[in-house]
Structure formats: C-alpha cells, structure tokens
Chains A and B, each alone.
Chain A
Amino acid sequence: MIKRKAKKKVPEINASSMADISFLLLAFFLMTTTMDVDTGIARRLPPPVPPTEKPPDIKERNILNVMISKNDRILINNRLADVYMLKDQAKEFLSNPYNSPDLPEKRWDTIPALGGLFEVSKGVISLKNDRGTSYEMYITVQDELTKAVNELRDELSRRKFGVAFSSLKNDEDIEAIRKAIPISISEAEPEEYK
C-alpha cells in the first residue's frame, strides 16, 4: 500500500537564519556569564579540642600574642600597636635572624629539597579577638600576618632557588618552602560567655 514516489526532490532548508539563532544564544550566554574569580584568604581550622584536654605548654618566648580589642585596637604582647607594625614584628618573630634569646627557638628538621637540615622556627602567633571586633579589622590582621609569612617564604625561595615563591613550579620545592616556614597562626578557643 505504500507508494514510493520516484525522484521527488527535497527542497533545501534555508540555513541563513541559523546564524541569527546562534547569535541570540551567544548573546544570552554572554549576558549570564560571570567571569569574576573568587578570591580569599585560605585558612585551615584546627580540629575541635576535647574539653578535658589541657592546652600544650609553650614557652613564652615562642609565642607572639596578637590581640584585637572590640574597638579594633591591636595589642602585640599586651602593648598597643599599629597595623603597619604588625608585619615587621611578625617577620622578626618568625625568622629570629640573630638568634636572640627573646625570640622563638628553632628546631632542626630534614628537608631534602633545601639541602638536608633546616632550622624551622618554633614560634606560634597567637591571635585573639573579641566578639565585638569588626570583620574588616580581623581580615586586615590576617592579611598582614599572611604577608609576613609570604615575604619570608619569598626570601627563602630566592636564596635557595633564585626565584620568587609564587613562580616556583616544582611541587617538591613548594612543599619544602611551606614546611620550612609554616603558617603558624593559632587562634584562641573562644571563651564561654554567660
């Protein structure tokens, strides 16, 4: 019952409007796309401490107390300070270039990529803030401390590999520098408020 029509030509579909349609789609995706990259200061939170556990004893010389009051004032070792002083103080604290007895001790650690033994600082920056501290100030302080660590890493990287830390390509080298100058910022457990 099916009739087969012989030699019937299929008319060609006009494809000239395809460009218009695809332009329309293109315009839609152009509008909705967001190219902004999210940036931020990366941190690792410590695991929760069981309430029975006592905090580890750290020698006084190994701690740099940074406290931000509720009025956004900064106290370094209980002395009023300015944000701009923070970076240099933190750098001096973490590097202890002249092995001063007031600044942190160092321990020997084997880091093969840096040529065997390397002195790693035992210093810990203890960061405390009030519940009333503004987030902006907190980020500024975190930023300054990160800057201190990054500058130290940069100096070490230039000394050992001749390039800035950010332009290191080898994962092993990056890991070595990270290990040699860790981000040792400890945030105080929030106190219970009644």
Chain B
Amino acid sequence: MGNFIRGGKKEVPAISTASMPDIVFMLIFFFMITTTMRQSDPLVKASVPEASQVEKLERKSLVSYIFVGPPTNSKLGNEARIQLNDSFATVDDIPNFIFAERESRDEIDRKFLTTSIKADKSVRMGVIIDIKQQLREVGAFKLSYSARKEVEK
C-alpha cells in the first residue's frame, strides 16, 4: 500500500508575498467603509434596558440620538440629564436640535429621520414624557426606544 514517493532534497519555492499588500488593502477598505467614528463623548451614563422584541435601527446615518441619564461625572449629581451632541441640554433645546439634524441631511432623506432615545434604566418617565411632547411638537414622529436584545433565560 505504501506507494508514497519521497522526493529527496526537493526545494520548496518561496511563497511570493507580493500580493499581501493587495489583500491588506482590501481589508482596509472594508473597515474604512464599515467604520463609524464615535461622534461625541458620553457625558451621561446610559445603560439601556433590555427587551425581547427589539428591531434593528436601519440606516444609522439617519438617526439622531438623545441621551438621557445620570451624569458620568458624579460631581454633577445623580439627577437625569439630557445630552444632545456634545453638551448637556434641557428639554427646550430639543426642537432646535431636531431642526439642526434635519438641516444637515439631504432633503429626500428627511422624512426617514428617526430619533433614538438612549435612556438609562433608572430614568424616571417624567423626562421621557417631556422629550416625547417636544418631539411631537416639531413633527419628529419616528421614535425608537433604545434597548438591548434580551438574553434568553
């Protein structure tokens, strides 16, 4: 059965690495396209609640985020604050924020703009109600309550 022929002293040709940069470049392009840079530093701690019936947010570029939660800097107290873009804000700043978000998008895309509320579990509904009222006033009806997919028990 042993019909294997062992070729003595046959030199293995060196593998050409010339195509390696091409492969690596391909990978780079992939990551460059898929990457989304974090736009703002979190000023509030928002650990979102869990839910089982979550849907994926389509088209991330058309989502504007409202963060609600206790400040990460504990010197500022424990009360829930709202973060828009890079700074603390109040409920009254939300209409202007939404207008600015609309302004920065293409006209065709504006009606697909979604607002995602990323709120901490501990937040009381009072703040959320106020935010929702403001959003209704300016006609930003598409809303998503950010939640993590629940792990099956």
Chain A residues with CB under 8 Å of chain B are 15, 18-19, 22-23, 25-26, 29-30, 32-35, 37-48, 129-136, 138-140, 142-143, 146-147, 150, 190
Report Cα–Cα, A18/B25, bound state, in Å. Answer: 10
CB atoms of A135 and B119 under 8 A apart: yes
Q: How many residues of B contact A (CB 8 A)?
A: 53
Q: Look across to chain B and name the residue whose beta carbon is closest to the beta carbon of A16.
A: B17
Can you list 11 A-B pairs, Cβ within 8 angstroms, ordered by A?
A19-B24, A22-B25, A29-B32, A30-B31, A32-B35, A34-B36, A40-B48, A44-B141, A131-B125, A135-B49, A146-B53
Contact partners of A136 in chain B: CB under 8 A? 49, 121-122
Contact partners of A132 in chain B: CB under 8 A? 124-126
CB atoms of A45 and B143 under 8 A apart: yes
CB atoms of B24 and A26 under 8 A apart: yes
The secondary-structure label for the interface of chain A is: mixed
Contact partners of B135 in chain A: CB under 8 A? 45
Cβ-based interface call for B146 (8 A): yes
Contact partners of B32 in chain A: CB under 8 A? 29
Stretch at the interface among B2-10, B56-64, B82-90, B95-103: B56-64
Contact partners of B125 in chain A: CB under 8 A? 129-135, 138
Q: A34-B36, A41-B55 are in contact. Are A143 and B147 (CB under 8 A)?
A: yes
CB atoms of A48 and B34 under 8 A apart: no
Contact partners of A35 in chain B: CB under 8 A? 34
CB atoms of B49 and A32 under 8 A apart: no
CB atoms of A41 and B25 under 8 A apart: no
Contact partners of B145 in chain A: CB under 8 A? 40-41, 43, 139, 142
CB atoms of B55 and A40 under 8 A apart: yes
Report Cα–Cα, A13/B116, bound state, in Å. Answer: 51
**Residue from B37, B114, B128, B136 in contact with A47 in the complex, judged by beta carbons closer than 8 Å:** B136
Q: How far is the CB of A168 from chain B (nearest CB, A)?
A: 15
Q: A22-B21, A132-B126, A134-B125 are in contact. Are A40 and B57 (CB under 8 A)?
A: yes
CB atoms of A39 and B141 under 8 A apart: no
CB atoms of B52 and A42 under 8 A apart: no
Contact partners of B60 in chain A: CB under 8 A? 38
CB atoms of A135 and B147 under 8 A apart: no
**Residue from A46, A133, A135 in contact with B120 in the complex, judged by beta carbons closer than 8 Å:** A135
Q: A30-B31, A131-B126 are in contact. Are A41 and B141 (CB under 8 A)?
A: no
Contact partners of B20 in chain A: CB under 8 A? 19
Cβ-based interface call for B105 (8 A): no
